[in-house]
Amino acid sequence: MRSRGAPPKIVDLIQDLHDGTTCALQLDSHDSQNWFPVCTGFKQGDVNAPLLFNVFIDSIVWTFEPAVCQLGLRWAYKIDGNLREAKNPSVEGISWIFMYADDIALVTESEESMRAAMDIVYEAFRKWGLHINILKTKIMKLKYKDEPDACNAVQLMLGSADIETVKKFKYLGAVCSADMSMRSEISNRLSKAGKALHKLTNMKIWGDSAISRKTKMTLYKVVVQSVLLYGCETWAITVQDTHRLEVFQMRCLRKVLGITLLDRIPNARVRSECDVPMIANIISHRRLRWLGHVGRMSRDRMPLQLMFSVLYGESKSGRPSKSWNDYVREDLDKVGLLYDWWRKCQDRISWQTSIAVLLKRT
């Protein structure tokens, strides 16, 4: 902390709070007399612990950043309000690490670069007294949709142990897939939302006549829909996956209304009675809300730069998969802002009013 410019008095106070810390195990409600000193880590439940840990991790990253950052993924961008692939990008950027507390993901262009980066990071953490859990460390190589799995195998080691290569892994609650599709993440969302719905069903919420429909809809939106659409602002989702989400939502709404498919009530009428738009419109609205948020960022922010970026390297022959920018362009066309969005989104209130029309369509 002193090397980062923290006042000496503050550093001394924090050090005094941790010096001489002892712990004991309490078993069968009997006070233990075997106290032992604690020389590593932070105090459990201390309000300062998250900040101190972030400073600690950040200090370690600073030590290996110059060596690892050159091994990252290179891209170029041109911030001009055009959501199509950037033409003649004028500024270069590089992505090499994503961090949230101690959840760290390294990004490189090749297996050799990843091997070099892992060796540097492993040695840096070891010198600072930290251990990387080999069981929680995974390798995933992105592949083209027609590339066989045999070509996707990667052999890397962490110290003397082999790192498992996976086709998908969960990072910050979202499932990332090697084929860059959203199928696994949609299945994950449906599974988690189904469990949330099942818990409410077991509590007999839907069939309780003492609970108003408005309250039931609030519970659905807060407990079920929030889980179902977690992170949907960044989804590049196909029509088939959208249909899977729509089917699940209709099942939930029929539970709220106390009806079944045998009642033969059209979906449009069910959504109208519950005052809920289609899933596709909700996703489009949230994507545009996120687009406006990123569009108002300063030009030195990476999310804005990546939105107008293009990756270096050769692309495979054939039609490429639709990107997030492609879906956003379709969303903008729905609200008539395809050619005026860059100026419109700078005013947050005006932007929210313009895109709110998507939520009024059932």
CA dihedral in degrees (125, 140, 185, 133; nearest 10)?
Answer: -30
Say how far residue 285 (Cα) sits from the centre of its chain. Answer: 18
The answer to whether the beta carbons of residues 44 and 54 sit under 8 Å apart is no
Q: Check residue 276 and give its pLDDT.
A: 94
Say how far residue 205 (Cα) sits from the centre of its chain. Answer: 31
* Residuewise pLDDT in 10s, the chain (362 residues): 777 788 889 888 888 888 888 877 777 666 667 788 877 777 777 888 888 888 888 889 999 999 999 899 899 999 988 888 777 888 888 888 888 888 889 999 888 999 999 999 999 999 988 888 888 899 998 877 666 665 557 788 888 888 888 999 888 889 999 888 899 999 999 999 999 999 999 999 998 999 999 999 999 999 999 999 999 999 999 999 999 999 999 999 999 999 999 999 999 999 999 999 999 999 999 999 999 999 999 999 999 999 999 887 666 667 778 889 999 999 999 999 998 999 999 999 999 999 999 998 66
Q: Comparing C-alpha atoms, which of 299, 307, 311 is closest to residue 92? A: 311
Instruction: Encode 242-278: b = buried (16+ Cβ within 10 Å), e = exposed.
Output: bebbeebbbebbbbbbeeeeeeeeeeeebbebbebbb
The answer to whether the beta carbons of residues 270 and 254 sit under 8 Å apart is yes
Q: Strands 168-171 and 174-177: what pairing?
A: antiparallel
Q: Check residue 362 and give its pLDDT.
A: 63
Q: Check residue 230 and give its pLDDT.
A: 95
